[in-house]
Structure 1
Amino acid sequence: MLTSTNVPEDKRSPFLALGILSISFLISVSNAVSGTIPLMEKYFSDVSRANVELLVVVPTAGVLLGTVISGLVSNLLGKKYTVIAGLTISLIFGIIPAFFFSYPAILISRAMFGVGMGVFTPLSVSYITDLFPEDTRNRLLGWRNSIGSIGDAIMLFIAGFLINISWHTTYLVFLFLLVPIILVMLLVPKQYDNIVVEEGGEVVEEVAKAKPTTNGGVIQLAIIFLFVCLFYSAIGLKLASYMVNNHVGTAADATRIFGFLVLCSIVSGVAFEKIAKWFGKYTVAIAEIIVATTMIVMAFTESIPLLLVLVLVSGFCNGIVHPALTARMVHYSPKDSMNFTTSIIIIGINIGGLVAPYFFQFFGGMVGNAGPGNMILWSGLFFVLLAAYDLIVVKKDQLTI
């Protein structure tokens, strides 16, 4: 149940926005320690390579569990303390491999690190969608992507220094979680746990906890997110192999190209608000068509400079698709269920990333060619279908973005 309330003007202060955005600073950095894999393979000589690689990807499974329980924890503790609890869980379990060196201990700690991330990640979105009117909301959703990319770059940079000491020390990089913990404690008032800004700008306050619910629109949005992440992952999974197999360049060349994607994500996040105003309800479809075009051309390109341009354009447009789809959660989510809605969306995103390698293997067998270039080409064609479907959804559901 909601009731009108008076909210101090500091609700829209830059300090509150800073505190909320800081939650997103470390959302995408669980792979900051991926560089430790070769060193851990030597250390755990009696463990298979696949099981060593599992240490890097197992947080994703933890995120799925944490996302499921996030709403329950939020109902018990409120938004602020749930965020702090999730960040603290990730901090504690994130640094355990720096002190305990057995494989089971590290495996469990990495899974629990993901659980912590799953607990606080949905609230990084619902805080924005609940507290801010549409224009500010779109701006902050774009900035959220940028903040995540900046955090990714900083943490990878720090990890690059720590790994020179030892692979154990690299895990101390997660001490940086103290930064958002402190900022949330100081800058995000507990009184905003139950504040919601309605579409018309009216500020209301929840006075009773309603059981969170969902609907077909939310499930549809989660499935769209799943397919966007699934098909876009073809670039990350297949481009390096395509370059090497076709003698376009080396794996190192591909790594350098991917390095520019961080900058690209930062720019797209900052530009999102203006782009959303220019293209309105066609923002997602236009961005997906451009992604499709770049991926189709990519599959026939044998020039490193052109590949760099195509990857950057694709990365920029993908950085527009995500906040645009996220903004639609306000339209679809039932009242009092934004945290639950966000959890469902995050589950869709993570499933898309998890199944991607197996999907491309299966689909490649179906079409008789699982080559990396062919999978990039098909992913581009699938993006055309996503764009066409989006035009139908925009009209059917009367979306404004």
Structure 2
Amino acid sequence: MKNKTFLKIAVLSVFFVQMGIGTITPALASIAAAFPTISFTTLLLVSTGAVLISVPATLISGRLAGNVIKYKTLLIIGMLLFIFGGIAPYFMTDFFAILAVRAIFGIGLGIVTPLGAALIIAFFDGEVRAQMMGFGNVAANVGGILFQLLGGIAASAFWGYSFLVHGLGIVTFILILFLPEPAKAPCTSAGEIKPKMPASVYGFAFAIFAIMILLYPLLVNMSTLIAVGSMGGPADAALVLTMFTVGGMIAGFIFAKVFRIFQKNTFALGLGLLAIAMASIGFGNTILFMYIGATAAGFGFSFIVPTIFMDLGAAVHPSQIPTASGIVLASMNIGGFTSAYFFALMAYVLGQTGILKFPFYFSLAAFTIGAIAYVLIKLKKADVLLPE
């Protein structure tokens, strides 16, 4: 029992560091003040550059894990890069040197990111797997809150201190040193042809890519919405966004029970909650509606992600799990990065340029159509399978 409990804690610690990318977000203004000659667009590369670098690292890590390199070895390499690349800027005064080590941090983060879900699928089955997927979201959200909160507190004293917060990754590093290696999944059985990656994996990847595009305006535009609508200031925006995380944490705790009831329709439930979130923010004009929208979005997103990984575990050969996880998670990061460009294009095409709430109206329509279409397709498939 003790070994099983430690295994769960060690695996969940991998999720804990996945939100470490947000550590320095509260410090960006302080970093900008420290480097006044650097344009703000270039300055943002301290955060966005690491995200971009993490994408190919995630894909490569997923392909190597468990097949070419052991999970544990990859985790150790990834966490060493995460810790070194995260902390090193504290000791630097040259902005471009900071960018270079942030790239190292991004590689480390990218290596680690697909391994949490892959380890859950490798170590656990059935309802325990569903519980761990939910708890993984909880651990990621707790990590996100802690990294960002401590990063903000540290930056209030000195911008460089925010980078030291990445040292929390040492806890994960110590835990994974004692993590057992999952049994290597055979690529083929006797007489079995080497499996190809199922097309459904790319369907899951596209789904999370599209969802991130549609969801991201909530995460990046909230402070502007609140300020323009005279609903509050930066502190209010921070509290609203915290409710996204809180909603995600609660959803993580109850995911296994919800999934037991709704099964794959949990995906449609998540889309429905995201539609409610966009309606609340799009049509609401008080801070209360912003809180409702952010909380509903946290629930919806944290129902969707583990559902995708549950389906992923059932769809692919065990030897393909790390690669499939890497493809899906890389698509999620690309979706977040692409969101602003997508909505700028849509606003131009639809004549909505300058309409601050346009992304929320668009996302409301897309999530509503997606939820209804998913349910109708499932019902149609069920009718086809019924015997005459």
State TM-score, norm by structure 2: 0.90
Among residues 124, 127, 137, which one is paired with 1:145 in the alignment? 137
- Cα pair 1:79 1:193 within 8 Å, conserved: no
1:194 corresponds, among 184, 205, 213, to 184
Aligned-partner Cα distance in 2 for 1:393–1:85: 43
Contact 1:21 1:147 in 2 (8 A): yes
Mapping of 1:36-55 within 5 angstroms?
36-55=27-46
In 2: Cα distance, 1:181 partner to 1:79 partner: 13
Cα distance, 1:49 vs structure 2 = 1.1
1:390 counterpart residue number: 374
- CA RMSD, 1 decimal: 2.4
Contact 2:214 2:359 in 1 (8 A): no
2:157 aligns with 165
Deviation at 1:21? 0.8
What letter is aligned with 2:124?
F
Please report how far the alpha carbon of residue 54 of structure 1 lies from its aligned counterpart in structure 2 after TM superposition: 1.2
Q: Is the 8 Å Cα contact of residues 237 and 357 (structure 1) preserved in structure 2?
A: no
Q: Is the 8 A contact 1:80 1:193 kept in 2?
A: no
Does 2:11 align with 1:20?
yes
1:258 to 219, 225, 241: 241
The amino acid across from 1:351 in the alignment is: I
Give the CA deviation at 1:130. 1.5
| Whole-angstrom distance in 2 between the partners of 1:293 and 1:133 | 32
Give runs of aligned pairs for residues 189-228 of structure 1, distance below 5 A: 189-190=180-181, 192-194=182-184, 213-228=196-211
Deviation at 1:387, TM superposition (A): 1.5
Q: Name the CA distance, whole Å, in 2 between partners of 1:94 and 1:384.
A: 39
Equivalent residue, structure 1, for 2:363: 379
Amino acid in the other structure paired with 2:132: L
Distance 2:244 2:286 in 1: 18
Deviation track 1:205-244 (CA, whole Å, cap 9, x = no partner) reads: 999xx97842211001100010111111121233333333
Q: 2-side partners of 1:134 and 1:397: how far apart?
A: 24
Cα displacement (A) at 1:368: 0.9
Match of 1:5 in 2: none
CA distance in 1, matches of 2:79, 2:379: 40
Aligned partners of 2:288 and 2:248: how far apart in 1?
Answer: 19
Q: CA offset at residue 323 of structure 1?
A: 1.0
Higher alpha-carbon deviation: 232-241 or 111-120: 232-241
Counterpart contact for 1:131–1:195, Cα < 8 Å = no
| Distance in 1 between residues matched to 2:313 and 2:166, nearest whole Å | 32
In structure 2, what is the Cα distance between the partners aligned to 1:137 and 1:325? 13
Letter in 1 for 2:89: P
1:55 and 1:397 mapped to 2: Cα distance? 47
* C-alpha spacing 1:343/1:393, structure 2 compared with 1 (3 Å): farther
Please give the per-residue CA displacement for 1:63-106, whole angstroms capped at 9, x wherever unaligned.
11211221454334311111111111111111110112211211
**Distance (whole Å) between structure 2 residues aligned to residue 337 and residue 179 of structure 1:** 29
- The equivalent residue for 1:122 is 114
Q: Measure how far apart 1:382 and its partner are.
A: 0.6
Give the Cα–Cα distance (whole angstroms) in 2 for the partners of residues 164 and 243 of structure 1.
Answer: 23
2:270 touches 2:304 (CA, 8 Å); kept in 1?
A: yes
Select 2:49's aligned residue among 58, 81, 100. 58
1:169-188 → structure 2 map (5 Å cutoff): 169-186=161-178, 188=179
2:105 to 113, 121, 128: 113
**322-331 or 252-261: bigger deviation:** 252-261
The CA distance in 2 between the partners of 1:293 and 1:286, in whole Å, is 11
| Correspondence for 1:199 | none
SS at match of 1:164: helix
Residue number in structure 1 paired with 2:82: 90
Distance of 1:76 and 1:334 partners within structure 2: 16
- Residue 71 of structure 2 is matched in structure 1 by 79
Matches within 5 A, 1:291-302: 291-302=274-285
Q: 1:382 to 1:223 in 2, by over 3 A?
A: same
**Counterpart in the other structure of 1:269:** 252
Q: Distance in 1 between matches of 2:281 and 2:381?
A: 33
Are the structure 2 counterparts of residues 215 and 292 from structure 1 closer, same or farther at C-alpha, using a change threshold of 3 Å? same
Q: Give the number of equivalent residue pairs.
A: 378
Q: 2:268 corresponds to which residue?
A: 285
Distance 1:251 1:164, change over 3 A: closer
Q: In the TM superposition, what is the alpha-carbon distance from 1:376 to its structure 2 partner?
A: 0.5
TM-score, normalised on structure 1?
0.88
Partner of 2:385: none
Q: Is the 8 A contact 2:208 2:331 kept in 1?
A: yes
**SS at 1:286's partner residue?**
helix
Contact kept, 8 Å, 1:239 with 1:373, in 2: the verdict is no
Aligned 8 A contact 1:238 1:375 in 2: no
Task: Report the secondary structure of 2:157's partner residue.
Answer: coil
Provide the C-alpha distance between the structure 2 equivalents of 1:111 and 1:323, rounded to a whole number of angstroms.
Answer: 28
Q: CA, structure 1 residues 160+247, in 2 after alignment: closer, same or farther (shift >3 Å)?
A: closer
Please tell me whether the aligned partners of residues 138 and 249 of structure 2 are also in contact (alpha carbons under 8 angstroms).
yes
8 Å CA contact 1:288, 1:321 repeated in 2: yes
Name the stretch that deviates more: 64-73 or 358-367: 64-73
- Is the contact made by 2:64 and 2:323 (CA closer than 8 Å) also made in structure 1? no
Shift of 1:163: 1.8
Structure 1: unaligned runs, 5 residues or longer: 1-8, 197-203
What amino acid is aligned across from residue 301 of structure 1 in structure 2? G
